[in-house]
Structure 1
């Protein structure tokens, strides 16, 4: 009887031990699964952040190329335009866009974004196309390009100010936007004027 009691106690102890092991094994499995899920989530967040940074960097590089083109084309306009008002507009482009370009360069540097040092090919082509004209034709073509360019600029800066991922880049876009809207309005007036020439 005593032996049966010892055997029963041992069996119960073994059963509890096995149950306990199984329970720990389940906890361990749950814990591993939880860690795996966390790792997957962390990777997704990291990928998302990398995508967001890439989008912002691409936007900044694109804006820098456009800003450079506006300054370079304005320099051509200062020498080739016949209308004093068109020359005045060109000087405003040089002043405002040089300042914005410097701010953008500083911002890009703080974000480790490498900006182009030469004009992108499409912008250089625009400068070449406009530069081929002379006299009143130059004035008209220059103002046509400036109007179209500023319509696109306003749209790009508005989107970046509203939907950019980086707060500093969004703030830069929001700060420059009113100046670009003013440029677009001035370009609209001058384009109508040059069409009548």
Structure 2
């Protein structure tokens, strides 16, 4: 009986230590992990229908799109500059539409997308939430310039390098809109200095 108790305690301790080492993954990390383990060799409903890098592009694009919508909604409530509010409305509308289009493609390709922005974007949103007035406007505009530069680069790469034709077409279609957003937010940023 003592041996069984000792074995049970050792097993419980081992599980506890293992649980401590598994930090909670954010939604994007979880989606990337699920996509990485899907069987890529089957043609049925269990396999992912695209290359691993294409699936990663889809999760990255979904993550960025959700972050843009969330930040845009926050700016609609908190921004004081009318140009910033107008831009935020455009972010919510355009990125919601792009997110829906990407979700439809992902569904047909059996790609798991994140359900919420990743930890990095959530941290930035929390910092933004603490600001108000002109300080909020400036921080939001700076974040949008930075974010749109990164997304434009990601889309440009995907429009040339995706192996899946639908994802490549999606990136090619969305890229001009993101570049237009970048030009508009850079103009707003310049007018605020």
* TM-score between the two structures when normalised by the length of structure 1: 0.72
- Structure 2 matches for 1:5-154, cutoff 5 A? 53-154=51-152
SS of the residue corresponding to residue 112 of structure 2 reads: coil
Q: Max radius of gyration: which structure?
A: 1
- Which residue in the other structure is 1:157 paired with? 155
Deviation of the 1:54 alpha carbon: 0.7
> In 2, Cα distance between the equivalents of 1:133 and 1:192?
20
- Aligned partner of 1:183 in structure 2 is 181
Shift of 1:129: 1.2
Q: Quote the Cα distance in structure 2 between the aligned partners of 1:118 and 1:190.
A: 28
Give the whole-Å Cα distance in 1 for the aligned partners of 2:107 and 2:165: 15
* Higher helix proportion (structure 1 or 2): 1
Higher relative contact order (CA 8 A, sep 6+): 2
- Runs of 4 or more consecutive aligned structure 1 residues displaced over 6 Å after TM superposition: none
List per-residue Cα deviations over 1:35-90 (Å, max 9, x = no partner). xxxxxxxxxxx7xxx9x711100110011010000000110000100001100000
Structure 2: runs of 5+ lacking an equivalent: 1-40, 42-47
CA RMSD of aligned residues (A): 1.2
Q: How many aligned residue pairs are there?
A: 146
1:79 counterpart SS class: helix
Q: Which runs of 5+ in 1 are unaligned?
A: 1-45
TM-score, normalisation: structure 2: 0.73
